[in-house]
Structure 1
Amino acid sequence: MKNPYLNFLFAKPQFVLIVLFLFSSCNTLQDKKVIKLAHGLDMSHPVHKAMVFMAQDLEKRSNGTMAVEIYPNQQLGTERQALELLQIGSLDMTKVSAAVMENFSPNMKVFGLPFLFRDRAHIFNVLDGDIGKELLDGGQKYWLKGLGYYDSGSRSFYTKEKPVESPEDLKGLKIRVMESITAMNMVNSLGGSPTPISWGELYTSLQQGVVDGAENNPPSFYLSRHYEVCKFYSLDEHTSVPDVLIMGTHLWNDLNEQQQKWVQTSVDLSVAHQRELWAKAEQEALDAVKKAGVQVINPDKSKFQKKVANMYEGYKDENEIYNLINRIQKVE
């Protein structure tokens, strides 16, 4: 099948260098299958720690016949670029936000809808149930095999100059968002000006005033050190967008049935481990940014919910998404 991203990728010199690097060492060393995994997070992030746990478990479970090499901190590109590298078969695995994944597997956009989930239990019941599995499987026709979801908490706004206590406070503010149409529509609905910027460039963009704020979960806000620039954190918790662990179908289809089972079991165990790490990291992050002088606000969420309620009706003409919304809302 012809890959629509191939010409686009190789038009960029930096992609050619990355691809040459990845191909420079064979993914099979003697009798060991070596899987290359790239992501954009800091090594102290609970999601990175979960992937290390997964790698260690897989090597042990496979009796040393499989291993995972992890490249954190956007060493091999942004989340979008990592997905493109998976599609052309020059990278094996990555972790991306479901918000970025929606550009490759459109139904994933449902996760970016604000205030879709009632609470943490509701989120996990959706992710661990039939709906979550369907969405993971939906990426295969785009050469992307979804393996599992890591908890990414809830995303809230943080700003430089003033607190966001209501949607009106977002008016005129440039807010960094991920490369997600859904995220951009949400910020527009709330009155802000959405500005897509890669995660690795955000700290400098905040410093230089390219944007006035951003939105993310507490551990990411803390570990990125964005609290050094943004002293207001408003816990409106507008979205709960999970992270997705993905393997390129070029590798998944090349694994035998036993190897696939080993990989999936190690991923499943790492998902459970990551949720424990996340709960602890979330509270530690909030305590740390408060200690650093950040004002943490608990706004009236209902004001934000009213502003974005019309977004749901905007999907009435997209049957698959609208049905997903209704199915998710019915999950106990």
Structure 2
Amino acid sequence: MKKIVVIALLIVITGYVFAAGKSEAGAGGAVEIKFAHYLAESHPAHDAALAFAKAVNERTDGIVTVTIFPNSMLGNSQELVEQTTNGALDLVIPTEPAIAKYVKKFNMVGAPFAFKDYAATDKLFAGDFIKWVTPDLEDVGLKYLARWEYGFRNYTTSVHQINTPADMQGLKIRTPPDFVNSATVKALGGVSQTIAFTELPMALKQGVVDGQENPIATILTNKMYETQKYLSMVNYTYNSTHLLMNIDKFKSLSAKQQKIILEEAEKAGLAMQKAVREKEADQIKELEAQGMEVAYPDTKPFITAAAPVYEELKAQVGEADFDYYMDLLGKSRR
């Protein structure tokens, strides 16, 4: 009788261990997470993605594998967000304007000259912004994991230096299909031309546009110094990248796997922030070494010229959301 009881207990324990293992691995055993981004493999974002993938795989004992598709292999930023909402992809790191197609509130982050430095951006995101946008993201099928980084955007041209808004007059400036970037170029007197990021190198080489705008790391890693002579450090708008996951994919993971994903997303984001910010000064020196002329204009005339963009933003997002965001921004400045 005692032997039968022992055997029965062993069967129960074995079943429990098997069930727990199955739950940990997910219904289908091994889990693949498809992670696509639009940045070059030399960009800090790709380093962060690799570190994230390695840590997740190790901490799940090889059960979860993150497969990375960099450098717009599967589409531009906007297309990658769409693929993540519909489940064709699992992970994406778009900037706010690409997310704004689905959640307009994100447009507000790029309001021109809203932040004086990186510390100011950190204060905003340490507040209630993420809590404010999370329900909207989940409504379109996206799970918010972590804020990563992108940086302050600056203008480059092949024609002449931009020291004042008057220098922008008539210049054809490539912008992504993002509202704030285009509206700011127009407010400063330039001509905004929307060109896909993958087509930008050829557009600059052929002189289709006179210039473009991007953070320093992107300007360097994409070798824009080969066609752009002048860099104007006005830090006219700021973007973070945000690691977003298809919400159904996230829910399909075990509780332990979800915890690991969230923890490693945060860790990789902080590492990327550190890399982008600490390397920026050296990257500017490298751009100068490659022949770019770098200017640091007085931004006050630019701020005045770009002020009407705020009214356009209000029309875009609605007065209530505009006012709420401006309140959040005001709190971050105290």
TM-score range, shorter chain: 0.7 to 0.9
TM-score (norm: length of structure 2): 0.87
Q: Which of 261, 277, 296 is the aligned partner of 1:263?
A: 261
State the distance in 1 between where 2:261 and 2:239 align. Answer: 24
Asked whether the equivalents of residues 34 and 90 of structure 2 are also in contact (C-alpha less than 8 Å), the reply is yes
Asked whether the equivalents of residues 31 and 65 of structure 1 are also in contact (C-alpha less than 8 Å), the reply is yes
More helix by share: 2
Give CA-to-partner distance per residue, 1:52-96, whole Å, 9 cap, x none. 111111112222221210010111111111111112211111111
Give CA-to-partner distance per residue, 1:197-255, whole Å, 9 cap, x none. 11111010011111110001111001101111001000010011111111112212222
2:109 alignment partner in structure 1 = 111
Partner SS for 1:211: coil
1:129 pairs with 2:132: no
1:168 alignment partner in structure 2 = 166
Shift of 1:103: 1.2
Bigger mean CA deviation after superposition, 99-108 or 252-261: 252-261
Shift of 1:112: 1.4
Shift of 1:323: 1.6
State the distance in 1 between where 2:52 and 2:125 align. Answer: 19
* 5+ residue gaps, structure 1: 1-26
2:218 alignment partner in structure 1 = 220
1:319 pairs with 2:329: no
1:221-240 paired onto structure 2 within 5 Å:
221-240=219-238
Letter in structure 1 aligned against 2:189 = G
Letter in structure 1 aligned against 2:298 = D
Asked whether the equivalents of residues 41 and 72 of structure 1 are also in contact (C-alpha less than 8 Å), the reply is yes
Bigger mean CA deviation after superposition, 27-36 or 318-327: 27-36
Asked whether the equivalents of residues 128 and 328 of structure 2 are also in contact (C-alpha less than 8 Å), the reply is no
Instruction: State, as a whole percentage, how many aligned pairs show the same letter.
Output: 27
Change (3 A) 1:261 1:160: same
How many residues are treated as equivalent by the alignment?
306
* 5+ residue gaps, structure 2: 1-24
Asked whether the equivalents of residues 111 and 180 of structure 2 are also in contact (C-alpha less than 8 Å), the reply is yes
1:17 alignment partner in structure 2 = none
State the distance in 2 between where 1:282 and 1:243 align. Answer: 17
Partner SS for 1:240: strand
Asked whether the equivalents of residues 171 and 191 of structure 2 are also in contact (C-alpha less than 8 Å), the reply is yes
1:17-28 paired onto structure 2 within 5 Å:
none
State the distance in 2 between where 1:151 and 1:83 align. Answer: 17
Letter in structure 2 aligned against 1:320 = D
* RMSD of Structure 2 on Structure 1 (CA): 1.8
State the distance in 2 between where 1:322 and 1:158 align. Answer: 33
State the distance in 1 between where 2:238 and 2:155 align. Answer: 13
Letter in structure 1 aligned against 2:323 = Y
State the distance in 2 between where 1:128 and 1:53 align. Answer: 24
Partner SS for 2:114: coil
Change (3 A) 1:211 1:141: same
Query: Which aligned runs of 4 or more in structure 1 are off by greater than 4 angstroms?
Result: 27-30
Shift of 1:192: 1.0
State the distance in 2 between where 1:158 and 1:65 align. Answer: 45
State the distance in 2 between where 1:290 and 1:312 align. Answer: 34
State the distance in 1 between where 2:59 and 2:232 align. Answer: 43
Change (3 A) 1:116 1:31: same
2:63 alignment partner in structure 1 = 65
Q: Which of 246, 250, 253 is the aligned partner of 1:252?
A: 250
Letter in structure 1 aligned against 2:33 = I
